[in-house]
């Protein structure tokens, strides 16, 4: 074979090797620091009116503005004088209304100066990067108070999320201490330890700030004294939950990451519209018996709902919920659920298989992405995840004060217009 043919053959083989690298579920990922200079961030929220702008919630009471990854000098909102911060308290969550572009409404979750939970509505000002601080309106709860009493300093949860139905979902911790000593998560007359669903699309003049949707499960039935705002029972400290939004190709399911007591961290999966569940706390921690007396007052016909996934405290000690990935940059990971452990600073993705008849999910392969994303120096203690306007995924580094984007490692492309030089 002439020498130039050997060279031609070698080039063709090299091109085949370079291009024959399909991105599959084992494809490597990498991280990129999107923003720095933040103080104890706990949430990353996309502004639906500008793809370049996001809001970052700081536990200490400020909502900062990012524009193309640069922290702006003027806060979107400053609540430092209105909150108690430290430990598990502080400004803990934010959600923009589905009609934010026209209404300018957004909601925040914080612990007030007495340590109680407040869900407050605010309006955007004429400047899209600044909120109207004077527009604050605190929602009123069934007891007639504009706060939810917190008996202890921990287990405040704090997340807020609008579902695909347009309603606001609020998952509240059990009130704190350990093992839910007053059994609030199973008490039908308590909001604590529950997932709530309310309709906040009411006139600004509404004195309560919401109405209960007629399709909530306990509007016309359920255990004695049950509060109509309750969507489901039995959560301990649901530190981040999200919806697999149909608008991005998802199923509409609610996925809850519930922090465990002393042994198990859990992920609960709820198909779209599947209300009235009891996730078991404090009777169960994960799928395991915990404090079994007294038995639950409310058990649906299907029984208590076990998590679809759990891990022991030999692996991690405080789960941080994330999102089912529906972006386009890393297509092999579409449909996988990303989550983390705050204490260990670990990030995983979990395969989900959805039953087409029941909508329920079962889990498949688990991939640990911690090392390839940079480990502790980059990820720190992970307090939250976020999505940008394109559905791409970000990690919130609480201790490092950074926002980190998850990205694919793109294999090199084959060279083009190759010429043989004799």
DSSP category for residue 199 = B
In terms of DSSP H, where are the helices of 273-381? 375-379
Q: What is the pLDDT of residues 393-417, one digit of tens each?
A: 999 999 999 999 999 998 766 666 6
Q: Is there a domain that residue 253 lies in?
A: yes
pLDDT tens sequence across 239-291? 999 999 999 999 999 999 999 999 999 999 999 999 999 999 999 999 999 99
Predicted confidence (pLDDT) at residue 230 exceeds the cutoff of 80 = yes
pLDDT at 416: 67
Residue 398 lies in a domain: no
Residue 377 burial by Cβ neighbours in a 10 Å radius (0-12, 13-18, 19+): exposed
Beta-bridge partners for 71: 66
Contact by Cβ (8 Å): 66, 386:
no
Q: Is residue 288 part of a domain?
A: yes
Which tens digits make up the pLDDT trace of 117-153?
999 999 999 999 999 999 999 999 999 999 999 999 9
Q: Please report the pLDDT score of residue 4 as a whole number.
A: 40
CATH of residue 323's domain is: 2.120.10.30
Burial class (CB within 10 angstroms; exposed 0-12, middle 13-18, buried 19+) of 73: exposed
* Distances, alpha carbon 310 to alpha carbons 7, 67, 176, 261, 358, in Å: 55, 37, 21, 13, 21
Residues 277/233, Cβ–Cβ less than 8 Å:
yes
Q: How many other CB atoms are there within 10 angstroms of residue 16's CB atom? A: 10
**Is the model's pLDDT at 7 over the cut of 50?**
no
Q: Is residue 377 assigned to a domain? A: no
Which residues form the domain of 256? 42-333
With respect to residue 102, please indicate whether it lies within any of the assigned structural domains.
Answer: yes
How many residues appear in the chain?
Answer: 422
pLDDT of residue 8: 37
What total number of domains does the chain contain?
1
Give 181-198 pLDDT, tens digit per residue. Answer: 999 999 999 999 999 999
Q: Is residue 404 part of a domain?
A: no
**Domain assignment of residue 375, yes or no:** no
pLDDT in tens, 86-112: 999 999 999 999 999 999 999 999 999
Residue 71 lies in a domain: yes
């Amino acid at each position: 074979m002439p020498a130039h043919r050997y060279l031609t053959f070698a080039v063709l083989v090299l091109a085949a090797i370079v291009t024959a690298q399909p991105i599959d579920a084992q494809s490597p990922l990498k991280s990129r620091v999107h923003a720095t200079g933040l103080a104890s961030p706990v949430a990353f929220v996309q502004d639906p009116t500008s793809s370049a702008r996001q809001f970052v919630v700081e536990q200490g009471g400020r909502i900062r503005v990012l524009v193309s990854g640069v922290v702006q000098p003027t806060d979107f909102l400053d609540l430092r004088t209105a909150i108690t911060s430290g430990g598990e308290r502080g400004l803990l969550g934010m959600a923009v209304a589905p009609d934010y572009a026209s209404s300018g409404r957004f909601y925040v979750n914080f612990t007030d100066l007495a340590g109680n939970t407040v869900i407050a509505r605010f309006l955007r000002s004429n400047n899209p990067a600044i909120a109207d601080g004077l527009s604050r309106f605190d929602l009123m709860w069934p007891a007639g108070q504009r706060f939810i009493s917190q008996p202890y300093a921990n287990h405040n949860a704090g997340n807020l999320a609008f579902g695909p139905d347009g309603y606001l979902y609020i998952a509240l911790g059990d009130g704190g201490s350990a093992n839910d000593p007053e059994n609030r998560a199973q008490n039908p007359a308590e909001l604590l330890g529950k997932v709530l669903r309310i309709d906040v699309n009411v006139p600004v003049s509404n004195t309560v700030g919401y109405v209960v949707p007629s399709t909530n499960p306990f509007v016309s039935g359920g255990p004695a004294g049950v509060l109509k705002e309750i969507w489901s029972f039995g959560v301990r400290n649901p530190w981040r939950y999200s919806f697999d939004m149909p608008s991005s190709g998802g199923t509409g399911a609610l996925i809850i990451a519930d922090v465990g007591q002393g042994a198990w961290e859990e992920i609960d999966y709820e198909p779209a519209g599947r209300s009235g569940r009891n996730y078991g706390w404090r009777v169960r921690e994960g799928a395991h018996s915990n404090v079994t007396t007294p038995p639950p007052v409310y058990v649906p016909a299907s029984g208590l709902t076990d998590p679809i996934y759990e891990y022991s405290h030999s692996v991690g000690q405080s789960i941080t919920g994330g999102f089912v990935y529906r972006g386009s940059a890393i297509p092999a990971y579409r449909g996988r659920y990303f989550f983390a452990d705050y204490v260990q600073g670990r990030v995983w993705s979990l395969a989900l298989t959805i039953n087409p008849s029941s909508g329920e999910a079962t889990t498949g392969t688990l991939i640990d992405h911690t090392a390839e994303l940079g480990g502790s120096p980059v990820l720190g203690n992970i307090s939250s995840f976020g999505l940008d306007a394109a559905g791409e995924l970000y990690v919130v580094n609480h201790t490092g004060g950074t926002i980190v984007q998850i990205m694919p490692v793109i294999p090199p492309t084959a060279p083009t217009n190759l010429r043989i030089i004799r």
